[in-house]
């Protein structure tokens, strides 16, 4: 389909916009540079001629927009602009890498090759995805610009996601949250990370997104008045001290507000840190930037009292993604805590534009020692040199290294080591050396002997204690959080895999014999599905390594033998007229529900539904289905479930979207839900609580756990409810019990 005159005008306007951006950013300094970029534009325009995006606009607009993001929002140079303009040419047209190398250069061809492979990461089958990604990482470790351009590509795709069908939106947003957001964070692209998160929320949870956005807008006038009142005395003292600065207030992103509301189970009105004050100043040649940051901090805290536990010094030791700033929370007017961030212009450039700005300033302003980003790239290279057994396992391990807050701990000789927040002694040991991690038995933390499972805090001094007869165990995979430690443990366990398979098969046969069950194909298929194993060797190996404990073997064996077909709340997938069958009218008086739920389709030979244990959906929750490729069963997750995001990212074609899977009320059956509560302890409060649940609401309790200390009690209750409405009604009545301060459903996500 030929482009219209309006199409040609739009393309010309976008090209002029890119030229203007390159001029302002001084991307092209000579005529040769301009010819280099123009050649890429005309080739891209010719290659994509007549092709349109789903939105209807000419396809070449997309690579121009990606190049604009690379220049204007990230600050990349001419080679990146050229690679961005050409990033889809080899994948989607008849041009080859050889053509790109001949017309441009081997370097441009290499970058385009990396971008082409990156496109295959999420388009491939799950078994191939991580292998593609491993190849891309080889390019990343050599030229990180490839990943940055791909992030720019994803950002433009997310900005135009409204043109895609809903099932594609689920897949693309899941991929984005699962991998691209953490990558943007690790590469210091804060502004892009926040926008990607907001766009993901906008398409996955549009009602919640619009509700929070509206509330932010509604409170703007009141918020601005407070901000002006807060900043006025700071301006006076900074002006008096002749600082050249800009002071602004930044409102939290919609996604971060929603995430906090969900994490703490609080309404919008109780999110008090909606904004932060940012002071960005022009640093003088002398004294040091660090000293000048502390001088401004002192000016602020002379006016407002700082919170003693909320000072964050990323000036002395920057974050591993290059971020530098001083953060302090101070008590402002009306008794409201306000976060104040202090940065130089250089620090602000790095914070907002990430890698490109980081490298621009590095040699002029930073020490010659390896910094956080270089350290991370080194770890990527190490990970590539030691591949794990499973490609998807490799991808998961790599992702672990992306999205963690940092702590800084010290060796006995005082060398600082940066680790993710939540890291243990074992993570530290592997960071020092694989052999030390493999034989670690404990550590001296600040001269006190502690186990390897101990979580470290910033400032700890750690000396690892080793023993030759100590070796990695599978349970340590649950202890460590760094990709290096996980990979080293997995590599060691892999060396024992053959023994594990033999031991696991023997252990399974012995365990089955206790229930007079013979190991056969039917039993194996059932167990492989239950334990999410792709084949019997994986099942045996995990049993032999202790990763699968068979603690719930009895209940799994009973699941099919005792299952009855129930008529109750059902999950429905719309069917065509030819597929419709008459409901089978089977009655059952059961009041509790097994893990496996059948629907009208399963009774007629269609799919069966399984409630995901990770998020425990109940009728009334918004749900999404995942069709298990091995068993054909549909695993039902809440739409907010973290595990679902991973599944949708890696197995997008197996996702059944929210619109196609619905609850339909039939006969009431109970679903497991967990409730957390706390309050003021008094005699009889537990009796009142259990009476309300079991007598007034006739609800069965599965378990109750309550602890009391210093007049305060807290606990959790597992109960069986019919749907979200009955659960909410119960929670409303629990709140009325004298002494109950808070009660909420545990979301398990």
Catalytic residues: 91-92
Q: Cα angle at 396 between 393 and 398, to 5 degrees? A: 110
553-561 helix and 521-530 helix, angle to the nearest 10 degrees = 120
Tokens of 171: 């897949």
Other C-beta atoms within 10 Å of 716: how many? 14
Q: Is-contact 84 63, C-beta < 8 A? A: yes
Taking the C-alpha atoms of residue 440 and residue 433, their distance in angstroms, rounded to an integer, is 11
145-159 helix and 166-175 helix, angle to the nearest 10 degrees = 150
Choose among 179, 186, 174, 181: nearest CA to 405: 186
Taking the C-alpha atoms of residue 163 and residue 175, their distance in angstroms, rounded to an integer, is 17
Taking the C-alpha atoms of residue 267 and residue 621, their distance in angstroms, rounded to an integer, is 18
First to last CA, the chain: 47
Q: Spell out the residues 6+ positions from residue 494 whose beta carbon is closer than 8 angstroms to its own.
A: 388, 389
CB neighbour burial string for 164-195, b if at least 16 within 10 angstroms, e if fewer: beebebbbbbbbbbbbbbbbbbbbbbbebbbb
Decide the pairing of beta strands 440-445 and 462-466. antiparallel
Taking the C-alpha atoms of residue 651 and residue 638, their distance in angstroms, rounded to an integer, is 17
Q: Is-contact 625 170, C-beta < 8 A? A: no
Q: Long-range CB contacts (< 8 A, 24+ apart) of 366-373? A: 371/318, 371/322, 372/318, 372/319, 372/320, 372/321, 372/322, 372/406, 372/418, 373/187, 373/188, 373/320, 373/321, 373/322
Q: Is-contact 235 340, C-beta < 8 A? A: no
Per DSSP, what are the bridge partners of residue 326?
313, 342
Total residue count of the chain as it appears in this document: 749
Q: Could you tell me the maximum CA-CA distance found in the chain, to the nearest angstrom?
A: 86
Backbone angles phi, psi at 280, to 5 degrees: -110, 120
Taking the C-alpha atoms of residue 167 and residue 157, their distance in angstroms, rounded to an integer, is 15
Q: Is-contact 132 139, C-beta < 8 A? A: no
Q: Long-range CB contacts (< 8 A, 24+ apart) of 68-71? A: 68/14, 68/17, 68/18, 68/21, 69/152, 69/155, 69/156, 69/192, 70/148, 70/149, 70/152, 71/18, 71/21, 71/22, 71/25, 71/27
């Amino acid at each position: 389909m030929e482009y219209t005159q309006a199409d040609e005008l739009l393309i010309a306007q976008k090209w002029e916009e890119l030229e203007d951006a390159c001029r302002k950013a001084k991307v092209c300094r000579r005529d040769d540079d301009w010819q280099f970029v123009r050649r890429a534009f005309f080739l891209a325009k010719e290659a994509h001629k007549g092709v349109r995006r789903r939105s209807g606009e000419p396809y070449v607009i997309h690579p121009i927009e990606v190049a604009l993001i690379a220049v204007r929002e990230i600050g990349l140079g001419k080679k990146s602009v050229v690679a961005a303009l050409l990033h889809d040419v080899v994948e989607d047209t008849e041009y080859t890498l050889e053509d790109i190398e001949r017309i441009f250069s081997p370097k441009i061809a290499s970058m385009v090759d990396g971008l082409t492979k990156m496109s295959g990461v999420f388009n491939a089958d799950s078994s191939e995805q991580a292998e593609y990604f491993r190849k891309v990482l080889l390019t990343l470790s050599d030229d990180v610009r490839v990943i940055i351009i791909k992030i720019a590509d994803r950002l433009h795709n997310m900005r135009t996601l409204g043109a895609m069908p809903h099932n594609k939106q689920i897949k693309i947003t899941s991929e984005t949250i699962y991998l691209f957001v953490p990558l943007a964070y690790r590469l210091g692209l804060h502004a892009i990370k926040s926008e990607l998160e907001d766009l993901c929320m906008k398409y996955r949870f549009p009602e919640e997104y619009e509700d929070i956005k509206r509330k932010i807008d509604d409170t703007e006038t009141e918020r601005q008045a407070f901000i002006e009142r807060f900043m006025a005395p700071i301006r006076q003292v900074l002006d008096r001290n002749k600082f050249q600065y800009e002071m602004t207030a930044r409102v939290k992103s919609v996604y971060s507000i929603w995430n906090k509301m969900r994490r703490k189970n609080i309404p919008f009105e109780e999110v008090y840190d909606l904004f932060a004050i940012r002071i960005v100043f022009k640093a003088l040649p002398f004294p040091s930037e660090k000293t000048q940051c502390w001088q401004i901090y002192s000016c602020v805290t002379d006016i407002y009292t700082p919170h003693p536990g909320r000072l964050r010094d990323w000036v002395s030791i920057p974050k591993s993604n290059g971020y530098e700033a001083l953060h302090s929370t101070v008590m402002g007017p009306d008794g409201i805590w306000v976060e104040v961030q202090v940065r130089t212009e250089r620090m602000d450039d790095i914070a907002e534009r990430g890698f490109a700005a980081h490298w621009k300033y590095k040699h002029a302003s930073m020490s010659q020692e390896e910094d956080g980003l270089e350290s991370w790239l080194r770890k990527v290279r190490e990970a590539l040199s030691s591949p794990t057994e499973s490609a998807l396992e490799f991808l998961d391990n790599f992702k672990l290294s992306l999205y963690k807050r940092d702590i800084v701990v010290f060796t006995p000789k005082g060398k600082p080591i940066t680790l993710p927040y939540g890291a243990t002694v074992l993570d530290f040991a592997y960071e020092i050396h694989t052999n030390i991690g493999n034989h670690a038995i404990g550590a001296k933390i600040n001269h006190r002997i502690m186990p390897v499972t101990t979580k470290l805090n910033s400032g700890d001094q750690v000396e690892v204690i080793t023993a030759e007869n100590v070796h990695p165990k599978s349970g340590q995979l649950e202890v460590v959080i760094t990709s290096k430690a996980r990979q080293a443990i997995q590599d060691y366990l892999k060396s024992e895999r053959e023994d594990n398979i033999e031991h696991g098969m023997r252990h399974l046969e012995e365990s089955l014999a206790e229930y007079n069950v013979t190991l056969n194909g039917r039993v194996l298929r059932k167990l492989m599905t239950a334990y999410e194993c792709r084949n019997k060797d994986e099942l045996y190996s995990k049993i032999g390594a202790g990763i699968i404990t068979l603690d719930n073997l009895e209940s799994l064996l009973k699941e099919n033998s005792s299952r009855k077909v129930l008529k109750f709340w059902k999950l429905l997938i719309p069917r065509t007229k030819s597929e419709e069958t008459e409901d089978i009218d089977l009655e059952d008086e059961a009041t509790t529900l097994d893990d496996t739920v059948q629907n009208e389709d399963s009774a007629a030979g269609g799919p069966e539904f399984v409630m995901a244990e990770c998020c425990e959906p109940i009728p009334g929750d918004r749900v999404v289905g995942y069709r298990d490729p091995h068993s054909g069963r549909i695993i039902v997750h809440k739409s907010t479930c973290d595990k679902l995001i991973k599944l949708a990212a890696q197995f997008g074609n197996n996702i059944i979207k929210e619109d196609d899977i619905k609850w339909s009320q039939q006969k009431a059956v109970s679903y497991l839900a967990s409730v957390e509560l706390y309050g003021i302890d008094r005699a009889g409060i537990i009796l009142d609580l259990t009476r309300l649940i079991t007598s007034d609401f006739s609800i069965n309790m599965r378990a109750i756990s309550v602890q009391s200390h210093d007049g305060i009690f807290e606990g959790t209750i597992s109960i069986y409810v019919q749907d979200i409405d009955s659960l909410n009604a119960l929670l409303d009545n629990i709140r009325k019990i004298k002494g109950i301060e808070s009660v909420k459903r545990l979301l398990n996500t």
